[in-house]
Each structure stands twice: as C-alpha cells, then as structure tokens.
Structure 1
Amino acid sequence: MKTTTLIAAFVVLFVSATIALASGDRPSQTASKLGVRNGVIYACVETNGSSATLGDLKLSNCHKGFRRIAWNIRGPRGLRGVSSAGKQGPAGPAGPTGAQGTQGPAGPAGAAGAQGPKGDKGAQGPSIGTFGPVALTGEDHGCVTDDPGNPNSPWANTTENRSFVVTPAQDGSGYFVTRYDLNGAFTAIVDSQHPGCNDDASFSKATKGTWNGVWTQKVSGKFDYNPDATINSSSATWDAFIAHVFGANGESPTVTFVSYEFDYYDSCGDHWRDAQYDPNDSSNESGTIGNC
C-alpha cells in the first residue's frame, strides 16, 4: 500500500501530461492488470468521489468512480536545443619556438631600376709629354749684392709642386721643355738680403709669401726621348730631368735657354719678378720682397 501511495504521488505531478497522453499517443487501456509493463504504467485515477480523494491513482483494482489510464515512463523526444558558441576562453601560454625552416627558393629578379643622374665630369688626366707634378722643398736665390764671395746665397726657403711639359718643335729640330713651379710658398731667412737687385736691405723677420714660375728650354742634338719615363724628387732638377728623359742610354743632348719668369708676393703687397724673356736680352727683373 505504501508503494502504491508513492507512485500515486509521483503520478499526480504529471497529471496534465498523463491526460495529454491519454488523449493522444497513449497505450491501449485494454490491459487486464494494473502496474508497469514494457515501459508503460497502467493505473486508475479517481474521477468521482470526495474532494479529498479526487484525482488519486491506484495501481491495484479499479473500483467504481475510477477511470483506467496508462502512460509511457519515457516521454516523447523533446525538440533539439539551439546550439551556440560558448564564451571565449583565456589565451593559452605561448608555445615554444619552432625549428628553423628550410630556406625557400630565390624569388624572381626585380624590374630594372631607373637610370641614375649623370655623374660629375672627372678631372683631366695627364696628357702625353707631361711629367709630374713632384712636391719639392728647397732654397731660392735672389739678386744678392752684399756677399761678393757668394753672390747666389739663398734668401728664402721654399716649397712647390714641379712639373715638366715636353712639346715637339714645329720644324722637327727637337723638343721644347717647360718647367712649371706651382703652388709655391716661401719663408724669408732672417739677416739675408732682400731678393731685388736694387735692394741691399736685409730681412729682420721671416717674411712669408707665395710664388710661381715658368722656365722653358729647348732640347736638340743627340737625344733619345722617352715619353714613358716617370720622375721623382731626385730627377726633378733641370740636369737630372734631361739626363733621365732624353739621355737614358748615354746620349748628350744640347740644351738651349729660351725664357723664364718667376713671381713672388707677400701679404704687404710686395711683388718681386725675376724674369728673362729673350736669351739675347738682359734680365727683366723688377720689384723686391721686404719685411712684412
């Protein structure tokens, strides 16, 4: 009886579902015994009685005032729920660095770039017949008159860049050689005489200034000109240059003076020119360099 009461209480909770099943897809009520068979519950529900017992279920005999009913223990399959993605979880820790992959194939060659701008013009190279320049240091000799025993004593220490340029004579008689002394600088020797021929005063200070010079001579006679020769400081004097470039095999060329001009300047505006423009003329010297 206790078992019957518990089952009846359970059934009361699903009366509405049971009634719906009885009116729809419910098992046949022709079974002769009440109880549970093959997943179906067979029972009686009180439909006519006191209000206290109305709706009670019985799993034993159905009496007058009860109605036989039945329902499945397992209800019909419900509708499939709506699926949706869950909330984004937190990011996991970074994994270890993978192994170095193999080098991929070379990519295709890129398109040719646009032509660049034209470069600056380069400096002119040495022409045939040019030797040097050679950087030199030395002494300069002026028109000294106060030392009869040494009329060519130096008046200044000098530096310059020296080159020689050789050009053929138009009549085929030889070559003209012009010596260029460029970018020169001088420092006067204290107590030496001023360089001008008409200036017998002496330097009381080491006057500084600039100078340049051009000196041309002609080479003729027996010579063997070598335009591939190179010079250095030891072959940059007149005698050494002629022997090195025109007499390397023992020849003895004839050297004839043509002309020269040397100009000296200091910051005080002094200008001394030591020059001779014709072998048959006297010196064309003028001016002087003084204390500055």
Structure 2
Amino acid sequence: MPTTNIVTIFDNFRAEIDDHNDRRERLIKASRDITNLAKKTIFLLHRLVQEADGRELDDLTAGKKASQQAYPKLREIQDLYAKLQPELQGDRFWRYQRQVSPGLQEYIEALSFAHYLEHGSLITFEEVQRTLMDSQGVEVCLRQVCSALYFPLTVSDYLLGLSDLTGELMRFAISGIARRGGRNKASGVCAFVRGCKADFERMTPYIRELSKKQAVTAQSLEKIEDAAYAIVVRSSEYDLSPEMLDDIVANSISSYSDNSPETRQTFGRRRQADHSDDDDD
C-alpha cells in the first residue's frame, strides 16, 4: 500500500477522533448548563411556594402560581436541547447518552416538581417526552402517536429523574408543615412519596443506579414521617384552635430541626472548640 494512502487513512482517523472529542466536550458543557438551570428552577419553585400566604396554600393556588412562573426557565432548557438536536441525530444519541443523562435527569426532576405543584400528580413518560419535541426533530411514535422529537427519552433517565423528585418533595413538605394547611399537605406528600418508593422498588433490578436513589428516597420518606409524627403527637395534647396549633407546630418543627443530626454535630464541634479555648487559657 502506498505511503500516501496510509497517511490519508490515519488523517481520517484523527479527524474522526477529534470530532468525537469535540462533540463530547460540547455535550458535557451543555449538560452542566442544563443542570444549573434546572437547579435554579427548583430553588425558584421552593422560594415562590414559601413566599405564598396561608390563604393561597389552603386554596391550592400557590403551587400553580409557582409552576407557571417556573415554566419559562424550563423552556430555556428545552431551547438548549433544541440546539443539541443536530449533535444527537441517529445513533449519536446512544453513543453520547452518558454525557446527556445527568442534565436530562436534573431537568426531569425540575419539570416533575413543577408538574406536581400544579397538578398534585406524577408527570407521565409521554408528557416528559412531549416537552422534548420540535418540528425539526426525529419522527418517533409513542402509543400510536407520532411526534418530532429532539431525541428519544429512555426509561432509565425518566425513572432516575423522578426518583430525585422525592428529595424535593421532602423539603417542600417539611418547609411548609408549620404553615396553615401545611399539616394536611405534608400528610399528602408523605403518602405520595411512599407510593413512589413502592412503585420504583419493582424497577430496581432493571435500572442501574436506581437502588442507590431508592436509599435516598427512603431517607426522605423517614424525615417526612418523623416530622408528621411529631406534629400529630403535639397536636393531640391540646384542644386548641387551628391558629394556636399552628404556632405550636412551628415551635415543634424548630425543635425538630435543632435536634437533627446535623445540628447536633455542629453543636458538638462548637463545644469542642469552646473546650479547646478553655484549655488554651
């Protein structure tokens, strides 16, 4: 074989490898940007719900208002996925799925949290996939309905993203449990998270890393149950108006937070620091 042909072949190999590395780096950077936007969306949802007054919480309108304000942020993520669509055409998606997956799971977590606040239910696989479509996408059929998609949504990314949702629901339940109507809402969230954990448990043998996230879900469920149990015990001790019970609940939650392992560790470190200062004196 002539030397020129060998050089040409290796030049093609080099160009292909360089193209692969460049595309991989672009997808990793885009996934990080999507992760940051999704986290900001989740923080925004928590802040908007906490800022709502008690009347809105009772009328179940605070969550809807919060989700409506968060959807523009989610559309920014969808626009980023639209720009990535040429990079993920055909078999490229499966080649670079590991680079796309982290940001996609974070996006599903934010989207499902907004959906829960608005509808009080779990977002479906088809609804998530429907947010990742465009007229320029790839034609894919779901349940005899064909749509143009940026890339196919995998069941593993869908379930892993939903599993992360349980942690946000735990924060949502505990942060609002001391507010008017928050006790009933916390009980509903607790039952919802318990149902999610039971349903996801059947998928753990088939979805990689789902078992690890199930362990985190179990911890989140335990925290909600502990807080709800403390509220029920404290409330049963008094025959008072709901307003006064809300004050007692707020104090109970404050004590519950102060007795958390993190607080005890911090307090222990402070005591050790104080003792060391005394020894120095």
Q: What's the TM-score, normalizing by structure 1?
A: 0.21
Higher helix share: 2
Q: TM (normalized to structure 2)?
A: 0.22
Structure scoring higher RCO (CA < 8 A, sep ≥ 6) equals: 2
More strand by share: 1
